[in-house]
Amino acid sequence: LGWSFLSQVEQCDSLIVVARGWQSSAVTHLLGSVDPVRDLRLVVDELVAKDLETVRIAHQGLQKLVDGRQGGTQTVVEFRSVERVLQYLTTEKRPIRLGDHWTDQDVAMISKMRLHSAKEMVYVVNLPAREYLNVIEQGYESRLSQPNWMARAREMLSSTYGETLVVPFSADFEEKLCWIAARGPEALQGYFTANPSHSSIREDLIRYVFQSLNLIEFFTCGPEEVRSWTVPRGSLAPTAAGVIHADFEADFISVEVESFTDLHELESEEAVKRDGRLQQQGKKYIIQDGDICFFKFRLPNYRPGANLNNKV
């Protein structure tokens, strides 16, 4: 994969691994043939191999310190963790993230070593437009009859890594949609009306990446704009407010919440209020995916007698 690629991977929290699933005599493959199953496994195996090399070096360094009675108790603790990681990679030869026995200390050392296979991965096969549309029509999350590449990729990932989701994608089809969209929103809407079974995978792909990172999305709205924000799943309301501005978390009072689903169903904020679905929540409220939030916070520098509330 090359050192340049691996150094870039270190900066990522999640990876989308895209394998070629289309044939073309005009575009040769580096390995001489098109085989997305081989390519997906190659990427994963190389990341695991690189991790094994990194862990061996770390293990050797800590071994010297332990043998020389240097570094104290913490060094011994770190050595034991690295030893467990090394044993796993040597015997299992599977990505770090698939291990289910890591202690908190192990996780800390894995993070410290910046191991590549600890990162979440979303697997994608880039298909010709016709094959892609066939998969979409059948429902790619099911095990219905699929093009050979998709079925084989899913089987390999399931048997080798215990992972079953393979996302179909077609750069060819997405390019066509961009070309249609360039003529205006009416043209794109007309295309989907005429071809109701056709759809882009982009929204699903974004959703899977969010899931891999354990992130959710919430919104803030004003007279002129709507903003989307991301927080880890399970975040409390003050933490979400802090994503917008640190002062909002420190001086949080409460949050008014309505869900995007309710707003879409009832079509107006007034209707949401009338139906009793606009909620006032406090510091213990856990932000939900799709929440529309109206934060109230106390101004840090206020004059006595002034209005103490502000909203965003």
For residue range 59-72, what is the model confidence (pLDDT) as tens digits?
A: 999 999 998 888 78
Position 306 pLDDT exceeds 90: no
Q: Are 119 and 9 in contact (CB under 8 A)?
A: yes
Q: Which CATH class is domain 215-311?
A: alpha beta
Position 175 pLDDT exceeds 90: yes
| Residue 139 vs residues 120, 199, 232: alpha-carbon distances, Å | 23, 11, 29
Beta strand residue intervals within 8-138, DSSP E: 14-20, 120-126
Angle at 69 (CA atoms; ends 68, 75), nearest 5 degrees = 110
Predicted local distance difference test score (pLDDT) of residue 305: 46
Query: Checking DSSP bridges between strand 226-232 and strand 279-281, what pairing results, if any?
Result: unpaired
**Lowest-pLDDT range, 38-52, 89-103, 130-144?**
130-144
More confident residue, 223 or 116: 116
Task: Please give the CATH superfamily to which domain 3-118 belongs.
Answer: Obg-related GTPase Ych/YyaF, coiled-coil domain (1.10.150.300)
Position 271 pLDDT exceeds 80: yes
Position 216 pLDDT exceeds 80: yes
Q: Binning pLDDT at 50, 70 and 90, where does residue 225 land?
A: confident
Which residues neighbour 138 within 8 Å (Cβ) at sequence distance 6 or greater? 144, 145, 146
Q: What is the DSSP string of 263-277?
A: HHHH-SHHHHHHTT-
Q: Are 135 and 146 in contact (CB under 8 A)?
A: yes
- Threshold 0.85, pTM exceeds: no
**Lowest-pLDDT range, 3-7, 21-25, 125-129, 143-147?**
143-147
Work out the mean pLDDT of the chain and round it to a whole number: 87
Largest CA distance in the chain: 77
Burial class (CB in 10 A: 0-12, 13-18, 19+), 178: exposed
In the chain, where the domains are located: 3-118, 215-311
Mean pLDDT to the nearest integer, 234-257: 91
Predicted local distance difference test score (pLDDT) of residue 310: 46
Q: What is the rounded end-to-end Cα distance, in angstroms, of the chain? A: 46
